Chains A and B, each alone.
Chain A
Amino acid sequence: AQTVTQSQPEMSVQEAETVTLSCTYDTSESNYYLFWYKQPPSRQMILVIRQEAYKQQNATENRFSVNFQKAAKSFSLKISDSQLGDTAMYFCAFMKPGGSQGNLIFGKGTKLSVKP
């Protein structure tokens, strides 16, 4: 069974600095998808970034980028130039193509606080 581990329950960063959130996963699959979701205090879960395992290039979305290490089964999220609005819970998630429809496996999340 696939599992997703986020080893940092809480983190904090100063505004404008860079922070990296870690995520590791366990799977025997070779093709799959990985996601980072953000859940601000208002509770609406928002997709931050998505990575297809068959792509070697790391995904980026503006200030958000990932470091995808397939052999190590690691999928960390880097937030550059942190902003107060980045304060949120961040969830790493794994999805295996085929099989059950849309079955996302989530980690327990990392609570990120951006301090002024």
Chain B
Amino acid sequence: ETGVTQTPRHLVMGMTNKKSLKCEQHLGHNAMYWYKQSAKKPLELMFVYSLEERVENNSVPSRFSPECPNSSHLFLHLHTLQPEDSALYLCASSLGQTNQETQYFGPGTRLLVL
């Protein structure tokens, strides 16, 4: 266990559904991240939050909407997704505001969009 939890672990949704992914870290970290992991592709950084402020948005479509209500929780709200959005979504956290810090990952949410 890395101290980063994600729920749900598996999610199936239709293209018209709205759902949310949740991430929680118990490490006292100040930065949190969302990554997308697709088959045979490198992990893609989606969003970065530092001290609850979004500091990075890597050209992610607006159908993905992140929310960071406090430094321990991170959400990814999903709406009108496409089948190509099916992937493993990983959350990570790191200690401080510098980017020398090691990132610790959660177990991921396996998302299937039908």
- Which A residues form the contact surface with B (CB < 8 A)? 4, 33, 35, 37, 42-47, 50, 91, 95-109
Contact = CB atoms under 8 A, between A and B. Distances in A.
Given A101-B48, A101-B55, A106 B43 contact: yes
Interface string B1-20: 11000000000000000000
B108 interface: yes
B99 A44 contact: no
A85 to B, nearest CB: 15
Contacts of B110: 43
Interface residues of B, number: 30
A4 B42 contact: yes
A91 B31 CA distance: 21
Chain A interface helix/strand/loop/mixed: loop
Given A33-B100, A44-B107, A95-B100, A102 B31 contact: yes
Nearest to B110: A43
B61 to A, nearest CB: 19
B105 A102 contact: no
A101 B93 CA distance: 11
A102 B90 contact: no
A33 B99 CA distance: 10
B59 interface: no
